[in-house]
Chain A
Amino acid sequence: MTLSVDARKSFGGFALDAKFTSSGRLTALFGPSGGGKTTLVNLIAGLERPDGGRIAVDDAVVFDRHAAIDLPTHRRRVGYVFQDGRLFPHLTVRGNLLYGRRLTPRHERWGSLDRIVAMLGIGSLLRRRPASLSGGEKQRVAIGRALLASPRLLLMDEPLAALDQARKEEIIPYVERLRDEMRLPIVYVSHAIEEVARLADTIVLVAGGRVIATGSVNDILARADLRRHTGQAEASVVLLTRVVGHDPGAGVTVVEHSAGRLTLPLLADAAGAIVRLRLRARDIALAVGDPGRLSIRNLLAATVVEIAAAAPPFVEVRLDIAGDPLVASITRDAARALELRPGLPVTALIKSSALDRFSFGHGAVPATE
């Protein structure tokens, strides 16, 4: 799937001029509130009309100013999960779920009510009314309703923003399953970097009505020149690791990366499962030569690639760990004392306590091209 968007729209003193293409499985539209992300997904869904440009999902053009194409929303087959759920209050959960399915021609349907209900764990809610559901339940039903309309693209506009942390943790695994099992391309709007780092494979950075950058999660999060948008403290990379085994007695799970093994707080994932790990630059220390006896158990063999300037007193050291990028934030003094230079082999040290449960994602995400 390739989504290509080139859209212009101005209204009330705000001008949106956004252009990006993405072939990612989960493309995050990331950026500050008021930057135009929601407008962008509304343009893709056809809920708002661009002043100009072209929007296409694969070879299906849904809007093209020059060719005078403007497919109405109901014919775009673009699913939409709204921030506020927007379940129909006069229908049961079942009625909500089947609303779009009944409107989808038989030969275009995929998935079944049973399968999607099971995947989202909403079987016990079918006869309830939306007003009696919790926030997390509402969002799960909203996701199921969108899926059952058999869309070719799913838009999710801050689907977790209205939920508390516990409810977010409840929904995120379902989004991961959508991404990995349903093979449905997703455009996911968020201003929360930890959600994006956990879920996305491609990031489209949107601010001030423009696309600032497009790239893989690691490209965007590691770029020092985007720190203004991604957050100074948020320089990070996402590593894919594989679960080696658990030690419930010690309360740890060991995962493996080609550059070394990492010890994490105990996870539920089976051995062999892929775990996405977000490592923040500020949580990584560097050692040259034998680090000696340490309390830190997570050591990764790395090579210095580049030492980039950052806000004093720090520098960002870009590393290569068996082909994957890693960024460490250390002081300029330390970099000088260690005589860091490109090509130097070092050891990256990560405290286990830096890897809290918000740092993990589950399931595989291939690198984007």
Chain B
Amino acid sequence: MFDSLDPAEWTAIWLSLRVSLVATIGALPLGLLAAFLLARGRFPGRSLLDGLVHLPLVMPPVVTGYLLLLAFGRKGPVGIFLERAFGIVLAFRWTGAALAAGIMGLPLMVRAMRLSLEAVDRRLEAAAATLGGNVAVVLLTITLPLMLPGILAGMVLCFARALGEFGATITFVGNIPGVTQTIPTAIYTDIQVPGGDPAALRLTVIAVVLAFAALLASDALARRVGGRMLGS
């Protein structure tokens, strides 16, 4: 089956993986920060932040994509700034696809991380402080390791969501073969043309396999991390 994939399809697959990976890695620090602020922070505007993070989950993806285009497009305020200051262009580039995918995956990532952070026993952090650990040491040696299963789960969810991103991506960066065409948008193109069904089916199988692999990998990782703590 794999030898029947044509070069354009391979490109779409690699692009999807690259976009999803970059989206996940880029979302990680933001997701962690948001999870900490939401789980532990006591500041005015916390509900606002909560809403903002979750917005992409409840808004039509097309709306998210259009807002991204308005802000990050070549004529949008952020887009103009990024292009002038750093020479970075996001609209209709694969980097823009990664941005869209990251923003769509962020709510799921934050959710998983926040839950795992809330489950961390703060009394363990207090114990670490009595042993001489300052805030940074306690964070790195106690809090983050204890929430590791949640971090992994959040990353997998974000990756899977990014892999399947369609609406925001196609609105923000279009569907340019070899540039911004990912697996979902390629499937969309294939089913638009007569006789494209076999190609769509091939990509569909690839998408299912990738999603499954991500789930199994996260499961195995979580089991290893969890098993360690149960003493095995």
Query: Across the interface, which residues of A come within 8 angstroms of B137, CB to CB?
Result: 74, 103
Interface size on B, residues (CB 8 A): 23
Task: Assess the A99–B231 pair: CB atoms within 8 A.
Answer: no
Interface segment, A16-24, A83-91, A357-365? A83-91
CB distance from B188 to the nearest CB of A (A): 44
Task: Assess the A47–B131 pair: CB atoms within 8 A.
Answer: no
Task: Assess the B131–A128 pair: CB atoms within 8 A.
Answer: no
Residue in A46, A90, A131 whose Cβ sees the most chain B Cβ within 10 Å: A90
Q: A100 within 8 Å of B by Cβ?
A: yes
- Cα A77 to Cα B132 in complex, Å, equals 7
User: Which B residue's beta carbon lies closest to that of A150?
Assistant: B132
Q: A352 within 8 Å of B by Cβ?
A: no
Query: Across the interface, which residues of A come within 8 angstroms of B84, CB to CB?
Result: none
Q: Please provide the chain A residues from 39 to 66 with a CB less than 8 Å away from any CB of chain B in the complex.
A: 45-47
Query: Across the interface, which residues of B come within 8 angstroms of A76, CB to CB?
Result: 130
Question: Interface digits, A146-161 against B, CB 8 Å rule (1 contact, 0 not)?
Answer: 1001000000000000
Q: A188 within 8 Å of B by Cβ?
A: no
Query: Across the interface, which residues of A come within 8 angstroms of B123, CB to CB?
Result: 82, 84, 86
Given A47-B129, A103-B132: A88 and B228 interface contact (C-beta under 8 Å): no
Interface segment, B60-68, B141-149, B172-180? B141-149
- SS of B interface (majority): helix
User: Which A residue's beta carbon lies closest to that of B134?
Assistant: A74
Picked from A45, A75, A78, A90, the residue with its CB within 8 Å of the CB of B229 is A90
- Cα A24 to Cα B120 in complex, Å, equals 37
Q: A79 within 8 Å of B by Cβ?
A: yes
Q: A80 within 8 Å of B by Cβ?
A: yes
Residues of B that sit less than 8 Å from A by CB = 121, 123-124, 126-134, 137, 141-142, 145-146, 148, 228-232
Residues of A that sit less than 8 Å from B by CB = 45-47, 72-80, 82, 84, 86, 88-90, 99-100, 103-104, 128-132, 145-146, 149
Some 25 contacts from A to B, beta carbons below 8 A apart, are: A45-B130, A46-B129, A47-B129, A47-B130, A72-B129, A72-B134, A74-B130, A78-B130, A79-B130, A82-B123, A82-B127, A88-B124, A88-B127, A89-B146, A90-B145, A90-B146, A90-B228, A100-B131, A100-B133, A103-B131, A129-B230, A129-B232, A131-B229, A146-B130, A149-B131
Picked from B134, B141, B142, B228, the residue with its CB within 8 Å of the CB of A129 is B228
Query: Across the interface, which residues of A come within 8 angstroms of B130, CB to CB?
Result: 45, 47, 73-74, 76, 78-80, 100, 146, 149
- Cα A146 to Cα B126 in complex, Å, equals 13
